[in-house]
Structure 1
Amino acid sequence: MSPTSATPSAALLALKSLLGQVPQLTPADVEIFVAQWRKAMRLPRGEFLIRPGQAEHHLYFVHTGLLRIYFPAGPEEICVGFGYESSLLCSFPSFVTGQPSEYGIQALRGSELLGISRSDFLAFVEQNTNFARFWRAELERNLVGRIEREIDLLLPDPAQRYQRLLARSPTLFQRVPKKYIASYLRMTPETLSRLR
C-alpha cells in the first residue's frame, strides 16, 4: 500500500503550536513558515516514508504515529533512531547532500506527517535570521545527541547502554516496541528483557 494524502488542518495547527513555543520566532514568522508545509501524508503501519536508495527531498513534521529510522546491514536492520509525535524527521544525510539515502524510514504505527520541500525549507532559512538561529541551535542539540549515541555504542556493558538511554529518553520505552529498542542499543531482545 502506498502513502496517502492526509487532511493537513490538525497537523498544521500542531506544527503552528510547536513553532509558537520557539522564542526566536515571531507570530508572523510562524505563519509564513507553516504555509510552506504543503505535503500532507498518511502512512499505514509498515509503509515506508523513504526506502534505502531513494533521495530525500522533504523534511517532515510527525503529527501522529511512530516511525523507525534504520540502516540495512545485510540480513540485519540496525535501528538508528525514531520519529514520534511533534518531532521533525528525514533521512538527514540525503536531505543535506541530495544523494540517495542509505537509511530507510518506516511507520511502526499508522502515522500522519506534514512535509516541506528541501528548496522551500532552505529558502526560508536563508531569508529569516530568527529561524536560522533556531535551526542552528536544533542542529547543535541533535549533534550532541548523536555524540551521546556514539558513546553509548562504544560501551561494552549492555547495562550501561540501557541506563544511559533510559536517563536520556525514558518515554521511548513506553512508545517503541522492545525489539527496535534492542536493535537501537545493539543487543538482543532477550538481553533487553533481562535488563528491564
Structure 2
Amino acid sequence: MENIREIFDSIIQLTDEEFSYYLSKLSYKEYKKGEIITKKGSIENYAYYVQKGIVRRFIDKGEGDLTFYFSFEHDFVCAYDSFITQTPCRYMLQALENTSVMRMSWQDVQDLYRQSLKWERIGRILNEKAYLERAEREFSLLAQSPQERYESLFQQNREVIKRVPLKYIASYIGITPQALSRIRKRIF
C-alpha cells in the first residue's frame, strides 16, 4: 500500500484518515496465469491496482488477437471506457502471470469523488497520465517502424521483453512473431 500512497502523495497530500478511507474501499483479488479479468461484452465494475503480475488488454480477432496495452506492478488498469460509461466492454483484460490486484468498485470510486476534491484531482491526474501514454502509443504506431517500436518498448520497459511472451509483444507492435524474430536477430 506504500506504493499507492506515494503515487497519490506525488499528486496531492492526503491525510492518514483520507488514505485509510480509500483503503477501506479496496478488495483483494488473485487471478491465475491466463485467466480473463474482464470479458468482452461485460461491464467493467472495477478499477485495479496491480500488486504483482502482468495484465494485458487485447481484442480477440478469432484467428488471433491484438494486444494493445500491458500493465505491470504498481500500475492502475481497467477497461476504462466501459468503467466510466458503465457500458459493455469491447475488449478483454487478461492476467499474463499469476496476478494479484487491489480493486475498487465503480460505485466506491464515485463515492470518493463526491467525498473530496482531492480524490477528483487524483483521478484527473491519473487519467491524464493514461491519456498521454495512449497518445504516445498511437503516435508510435503511425510514425515509427516496427523495429523502432520494438526498440522503444525495450528502452521504456525492459520487463516487457523478459516477462511477456514474444507473440504478445509482436501483436503489441503490430507485426507477426516471425517478423519480430527477424528484428531481434538484427538488434542482438
Same fold flag (TM > 0.5): yes
2:59 is equivalent to residue 67 of structure 1:
no
Deviates most, 169-178 or 73-82: 169-178
Cα distance, 1:82–1:127 mapped onto 2, change above 3 Å: same
Partner of 2:34: 46
Aligned-partner residue type, residue 121 of structure 2: R
Distance 1:137 1:74, change over 3 A: same
Conserved? CA contact 1:22–1:134, under 8 Å = no
Matched, 1:150 2:138: yes
Structure having the higher helix fraction is 2
The amino acid across from 1:144 in the alignment is: L
Whether contact under 8 Å (2:11, 2:125) holds in the other structure is no
4+ residue runs of structure 1 moved beyond 6 angstroms? none
State the distance in 1 between where 2:32 and 2:159 align: 23
Instruction: Please tell me the residue identity of whatever aligns with 2:35.
Output: E
- Report the number of matched residues: 183
* 1:32 matched residue in structure 2: 21
Task: For residues 78-104 of structure 1, give each alpha carbon's deviation from its aligned partner in whole angstroms, at most 9, with x where no partner exists.
Answer: 001112211111111110111111111
Q: Normalising by structure 2, what TM-score?
A: 0.87
CA deviations 1:153-181 (Å, max 9, x no partner) are: 11362112223323333332223221111
Over the residues paired in the alignment, what is the CA RMSD in angstroms? 1.9
CA–CA distance in structure 2, aligned partners of residues 24 and 155 of structure 1: 35
2:164 is aligned with 1:172: no
- Mapped contact 1:15–1:34 kept (Cα < 8 A): no
TM-score, scaled relative to structure 1: 0.84
Match of 2:75 among 62, 70, 87: 87
Question: Could you tell me the percent identity over the aligned residues?
Answer: 28
The AA in structure 1 aligned to 2:24 is A
* Worse-superposed segment, 103-112 or 154-163: 154-163
CA apart distance, 1:151: 1.1
Distance 1:158 1:122, change over 3 A: same
